[in-house]
A and B are shown apart, each in its own frame.
Chain A
Amino acid sequence: MEIPHTVTARPDTGLYNAKLAIWLFLASEVMLFGGLFSAYVFLRMGADDGYWPHGLLDVPIGTLNTFILVSSSITIVLAWASLKMRQWARHKLYLGITIALGVLFLCIKLGYEYPAKFKHFGVFIKKDSWSKYEDYLGNDHLKEAGLPPRPEISGHLHEVEIDATDADRPLLDNLIKRRDLVVLKSEEDGKRLTLKVNSPSDAEALRNALGAITNPEEQDPAKVQRKEPGVKMVAFEMALDEVNADPKNPKFDYPSFILRGLTEKTATIHAEDVDWWSAFYPKHSAYFAVYFLITGLHGLHVLGGIVVFTYFFFFGHKIYRRNPEQQANRIEVVGLYWHFVDLVWIFVFPIFYLL
């Protein structure tokens, strides 16, 4: 049975069916991303002064990714136009370039941007301890300049000092071995340890995997419950980001085009002064929560487009031979979706990277 109106327009809508369908789908997508952008605005406007981070993302990389998506939007429209002109080889070339650009976009996002965030570490200092860490926060200078305060010290986590109970020791030893941590110092009969960690996730594991068992009578290991936090964190030693290494330098008052680098200067932060600590994961802050949510969802849309384009790249010729106009329409419809994905990025880029 022939599916009606795959090529010809319906008399009542003036459009072939797939075109109307994709626009209705895109309308629902506008509402989906609109809701998330609206949540972003809400969270940002409600954030306490200084608690909405700026300058933590790599602007040149974000700009590069914008160029990549814009270029792919052009190549897909050229792929469609080539089909309209019945130039299959040219169409395949442009479609192949579009796929390659989409893959490159995802590689940059997943291979560089996200991992760099997961390695980065930040501690939010309690307000009443800001003065103790003035050398790293520079809040007096910011106040004089009329700028919002800087509550966070960020960089790369190198060492943690922890207190562990005897009861937790076997579990702790196991974790140290499994994660390849190094015990640098052992004090107070092994109850206070200084551990060299490889990434913030090691500190997260220490916090989450250990701790007193709240239901010791439970025999089933899967049902054993542990009290959070696990071991008691005593201190963190971290290499500082430039902005915390020299916080009074006016050039760090505002975000820069080139991402601030890491220095060799280290600082010891006492856990008692810390309000909250985390890698640059979604739980780090409302900013990263909404950043990972929107860019992750956008990345899934890019992936979806790549999958469909790849299918057409390998299997599109069959329909093209039978009815070239139908294949042109299929490419037009997926192309519209792809342009929408580009359009979303055009707003994602400034709101997260630039503002």
Chain B
Amino acid sequence: MSDHKEPAVQTPEPSAGDVEAFNKHLKGYIKIGLIEFVFTVATVWISFMAKSMGTKIILTLLSATGNAVLVAAILMHLKDEKKTIWKVLFFTGAFLIVLFFLTWLARSDEIMGALHNHH
């Protein structure tokens, strides 16, 4: 293995404007974190407030989805992301839906006894 030192690459230092923009972003990230805390508390609260199981499942998962959208859109920067990534995610989403329906279809072609899954 060679022992030579690779030369440092000159990259421009951030300008005052960049720093200001970043500081604004930082505050934004912290705000998002706080909103996610609120979403988490709301998810827990909803799950204990809703009495019917159907309502409980829908509302709790909606609240969790809101939380997940924040992570994906803001923290993972998806809202400003390139089309290439959106295309990848679109196909992933489509296959995911098909995947869920595959197991759904299995319910109509049930192996006897397989659903009595308590043991």
Contacts and interface: CB of A to CB of B under 8 A. Distances in A.
B28 to A, nearest CB: 10
Interface of A: 7, 13-15, 19-20, 23-24, 27, 30-31, 34-35, 37-39, 41-43, 45-48, 51, 59, 63, 66-67, 70-71, 73-74, 77-78, 81, 84-86, 124, 151, 255-257, 275-276, 285-286, 321-326, 336, 339-340, 342-343, 346-347, 349-351, 354-355
A321 B8 contact: yes
B71 A322 contact: no
Given A31-B92, A84-B14, A347-B64, A285 B19 contact: no
Contacts of A323: 8-9, 11
A30 B96 contact: yes
B8 A354 contact: no
A339 B71 contact: yes
A30 B118 contact: no
Contacts of B37: 67, 70
A14 B88 CA distance: 14
6 contacts: A13-B82, A85-B19, A323-B9, A342-B71, A347-B64, A355-B57
Contacts of A73: 33, 36, 71, 75
Contacts of A85: 14, 18-19, 22
Contacts of B76: 336, 339-340
Contacts of B41: 63
B119 A276 contact: yes
A124 B76 CA distance: 45
A31 B92 CA distance: 7
Contacts of B9: 7, 322-323, 325-326
Interface residues of A, dominant DSSP: helix
Nearest to A10: B84
Contact of A74 (B33, B91, B106): B33
Given A48-B118, A257-B44, A74 B64 contact: no
Nearest to A12: B84
A274 to B, nearest CB: 11
Interface in B60-79: 60-61, 63-64, 67-68, 71-72, 75-76
A20 B84 contact: yes
A51 B6 CA distance: 63
Contacts of A325: 9, 11
Given A13-B82, A15-B84, A38-B100, A74 B29 contact: yes
Given A74-B29, A85-B14, A339-B76, A275 B19 contact: no
Given A15-B84, A285-B118, A86 B14 contact: yes
Contacts of B30: 74
A124 B118 CA distance: 9
B1 interface: no
B115 interface: yes
A325 B9 CA distance: 9
Contacts of A51: 116-118
A343 B68 contact: yes
A77 B72 CA distance: 12
Contact of A81 (B22, B33, B67, B116): B22
Contact of B56 (A31, A37, A78, A355): A355
A256 B48 CA distance: 8
4 nearest A-B pairs in the assembled complex, by CB-CB distance: A46-B115, A354-B47, A286-B117, A74-B33
Nearest to B84: A13
Contacts of B72: 339, 343
Given A31-B96, A85-B22, A339-B75, A322 B40 contact: no
Nearest to B5: A322
A150 to B, nearest CB: 12
B26 A38 contact: no
Q: Which of A13, A31, A77, A285 has the most CB of B within 10 A?
A: A77
B44 A354 contact: yes
A66 to B, nearest CB: 5
B46 to A, nearest CB: 8
A78 B60 contact: no
B119 A47 contact: no
Contacts of B19: 85
A81 B88 CA distance: 26
Nearest to A2: B6
B85 A20 contact: yes
